[in-house]
Structure formats: structure tokens, C-alpha cells
Amino acid sequence: MSKKLKKLSSLLAEVADLHNAAALLGWDQQTYMPRAGAEARGYQMGTLGKIAHEKFTSDTVGKLLDELKDAYHPESDDPYDILLDQFERGMKTAEVTDIFAALRPRQVELIKAITERPQVDASFLQGPFDEQKQWDFGIKVITGFGYDWTRGRQDRSAHPFTTSFSINDVRITTRFEKDHPAASLFSTMHEAGHALYELGCCQSFERSPLAGGASLAVHESQSRLWENLVGRSLPFWEHFYPAYQQLFAPALAGVDLMSFYRAINRVEPSLIRVNADEATYNLHIMLRLELEIGMIDGTIAVRDLREIWNARMEEYLGITPPDDARGVLQDVHWSGGSLGYFSTYALGNLISAQLWEKINSDIPDLADRFRRGRFDGLLTWLRDKIHVHGRKYEPQELVQKVTGSKIDPAPYIRYLQRKYGEIYGI
């Protein structure tokens, strides 16, 4: 490593330390902090943020970046490329729109076919499930996944999140929903997927910009893989359902495995993105991406967002929002300035299925391992192929390195058609 690059790395390590300290304060703020401490906490986080910003934007760092010009962004072909690059390094707007153009009609077609079939009964999932039992079961599951409790912990928060203070300190939270008692388990699995990625980074990346995930989409691929492709799979529940059924016997005593499996994979177009099922979720994302691109290139005026949103919700999902709270204003991303973010959610779904096909090719007895409650082979594969590299590769580069091709919607389409074809008899 050159002296200049070593000096830059040292300066950025200090910035990373400050951000990690601020993250620790943020985690405490959302979990355990007394309410009266909010004002002081705001000052503390503001001070740390100010120091980190000053260090990162210092003349010394600027001079080093000038001299190490390969840190620079390439010229963009589309104004939206710059926004997208903040979250998906190297991805181009044209690439994302081409991917979604291939995916959209197939998902719309699948959803229409599902809505023509008798709906799955999931009424038994609405019963009261004891919160402590939910907590204990979730802990049992992610311990089986390989979550290392000497390097992490789980707490409660209003909205589930994962936060990393170090490669050796990655914490998660979960929430409990009165009307959706199984939601806690799936949020626990989802956040554990994020945490396993962070915990699997090469230890030599500690205190450097290389620690963490390659991109938000690759990160999301890990959380969605553990939550959906593992946690909503039949082999997973062939192992865990007897214990789960016994734990929540009043509600599930007369519910057989297949009825439970179909219920947790029920498809129903919904207004709210974060509550959407696997088959409909990507359409929520595509709608938002189309509107973002239109706002940036000038073809969509902000004043027209509500009308366009409602029309495309009807076109894609067959439902129209009754108000803006359940429509165009439901997300915090735009008000927070996070333009370019949304596509990462759907891209993560696609990457998860693409990896899944490769994993099953490399580990042909994977389903049998799940039936025995064995997840170590999967975690080892992910650690070796994805986690250890941290941010070393751009997302498209990493996906191609692992699967042999760039992000491809075909595996996800095959996954949805196979899974929901069986569940709904399509």
C-alpha cells in the first residue's frame, strides 16, 4: 500500500470510529434510553456527526483524494445514475430499468393468476401469540442460523433494524405486532440475515471503508434469503413446525403443516409496501423507481405524483389508495432525501434468488439439511462467496463473480412461479 493510500486509510478509520460511536448512541436511543435523555442525546450525536464531517471533508483528505483520483465517480450517462450510485456502486439507470422491464409483466401476470384462485386461509395467524414465546423461538431460530451472541444481541424497537459498531459487534432489533404475531419471527430472521453479512466480513477490513456490505441490494439479498428462501420454505418448517405448533397450541393445535406453510406465504395485493408479500413486493418498488426517474429527468412533476401513483397502483396491483397516507406519502425516503434508494430492495430480491440457484447447485442436499435443522453449510457458503469480501467489489461485479452472470430477473421469476404455482394450484 502506498504511503498516501495508507494515510488516507488511517484518516478514514478515525471517521469510521466516530460513525460507529454515533451508531451506538443511536441504538441506545431506540432501545433503552430514558425519554428525558433525548435532548442531551441530540447534542451528543450532533457533536460526533460534526467532528466526523469535519475530518472527512478536511483539506488533507481532499488533497489525498485529488492525488488518488481512482476514488472518483465516473461520468454518468443519466442524471439518475449519480443518485443510484450512492447505494449501488457502479449500477446504471439503464441496467435497472432493463431488469425491471423484464420482471414487471411476469409478476403482474402471476398476481392476476393468483387472484383468480381461491384464497389461502390465514385466519389462525391472527390469534394472540405470547410475546415472550415469540422472542424465545426467534432466538432459537437465528442461533441455528449461526448468529454469534458473543458478537451481537437482539432488542426491541418500533421498527426492526440492524446496526454495526464493528465487525465484532453487530446488533439487531425486532418488533411485535398485535394483529400479525408471526411478523416478529420473520423480522428477526430478516435482521439476522443483515447481521450475518456484517459479522462475516474479513477481519482485516475492521475500521476501514471496506467493512460492511457491497451495496444495499447485496445486503438486502442476504436478509431476504434468510427470511424468505429459508424461513418461508417448506423444509425449514418441516423441522421447526412441530415445536412452533406446540408452543402456540391454542391457535395452531388443529392446523396441519401444509395449511400453515400456505398461510405464511399468502399473496394479497396491499397498499403498504412494508407489509407486502413476496409476489407483490417488487411492484411497489418498480412504481417508486419509475416516479423517481421521472422526477429527476423532468417528465413527472411533483404535483402530479398522487395521480400517477394511484393509477399505477391500480394497473400493477388492482387496488387504489383511499388516501395519501396509504399512498404516495407512506414512505420516509423522499422526505429524507434518499432518492436512488428504492430499487435496492427489489434488486436484493433478485440477487437472493440468483444466489439460491447457485447454492442449490453447489449444495444439492440443502433441503434435507434444513429438514434436520442444519444451516451451517449455507452460512459457510455465504461466508466464503459473499460475506468475506465486504465492500471490495461493486455489486454487479460480485454477483457475476459468484453466479457467472450479472443481476438477472429470471431466477426470481422461476422461484415465484414454482413456489406460488404449487401453493395456489396455478
Query: pLDDT of 309-362, one tens digit each?
Result: 999 999 999 999 999 999 999 998 898 788 999 999 999 999 999 999 999 999
Non-local CB neighbours of 20 within 8 Å, separated by 6+ positions: 164, 165, 166
Same domain, 173 and 202: yes
Mean pLDDT of the chain: 92
Same domain, 112 and 61: no
Same domain, 20 and 52: yes
Written as one string, the DSSP assignment of 21-88 is: HHHHHHHHHHHT--GGGHHHHHHHHHHHHHHHHHHHTSHHHHHHHHHTGGGSPPPPSSHHHHHHHTTS
The fraction of the chain above a pLDDT of 70, given in percent, is 99
pLDDT the model gives residue 72: 56
Domain boundary among 71, 103, 128: 71
Q: Is the torsion defined by CA of 187, 280, 387, 28 positive or negative? A: negative
CA dist., res. 191 & res. 173, Å (int): 7
Residue type, 224: R
pLDDT tens digits for range 72-111: 555 778 999 989 998 999 999 999 999 999 999 999 999 9
Side by side, the strands of the sheet bearing 162-166 are 154-156, 169-174, 162-166
pLDDT the model gives residue 169: 92
Q: Which of 39, 95, 191, 394 is catalytic?
A: 191
pLDDT tens digits for range 231-241: 999 999 999 99
Residue 146 in this model has a pLDDT that exceeds 60: yes
Torsion of the alpha carbons at 82, 87, 93 and 94, rounded to the nearest 10: 130
Which residue range forms the structural domain that includes residue 44? 3-71
Domain boundary among 21, 45, 71: 71
pLDDT the model gives residue 301: 96
Residues 104/285, Cβ–Cβ less than 8 Å: no
Beta bridge mates, 172: 154, 162
Same domain, 36 and 125: no
pLDDT the model gives residue 36: 84
- Residue 270: how many CB atoms within 10 A of its CB? 16
Which segments of 136-219 are extended strands (E)? 154-156, 162-166, 169-174
Same domain, 66 and 87: no
pLDDT tens digits for range 208-218: 889 999 999 99
Non-local CB neighbours of 199 within 8 Å, separated by 6+ positions: 147, 148, 151, 152, 167, 168, 170, 387
Supply angle C-alpha 216, 221, 222, rounded to 5. Answer: 100
Residues 175/157, Cβ–Cβ less than 8 Å: yes
Same domain, 44 and 80: no
pLDDT the model gives residue 34: 81
Domain boundary among 44, 71, 98: 71
Q: Is the torsion defined by CA of 350, 213, 98, 270 positive or negative? A: positive
CA dist., res. 261 & res. 232, Å (int): 7
pLDDT band for position 159 (cuts 50, 70, 90): confident
pLDDT the model gives residue 1: 52
Residue 127 in this model has a pLDDT that exceeds 80: no
pLDDT tens digits for range 13-32: 898 899 888 988 988 888 88
Same domain, 86 and 46: no
pLDDT the model gives residue 218: 97
Same domain, 253 and 213: yes
Q: Mapping DSSP to helix (H, G, I), strand (E, B) and coil, where does residue 244 land?
A: helix
Q: Mapping DSSP to helix (H, G, I), strand (E, B) and coil, where does residue 196 land?
A: helix
CA dist., res. 421 & res. 238, Å (int): 20
Same domain, 11 and 107: no
Instruction: Name the pTM for this structure.
Output: 0.85
Same domain, 33 and 142: no
Same domain, 199 and 102: yes
Number of compact structural domains in the chain: 2
Same domain, 28 and 153: no
Q: Name the phi and psi angles at 268, rounded to 5.
A: -155, 115
Residue 136 in this model has a pLDDT that exceeds 70: yes
Residue 191 designated active-site: yes
Domain with 320 in it: what CATH number?
1.10.1370.30
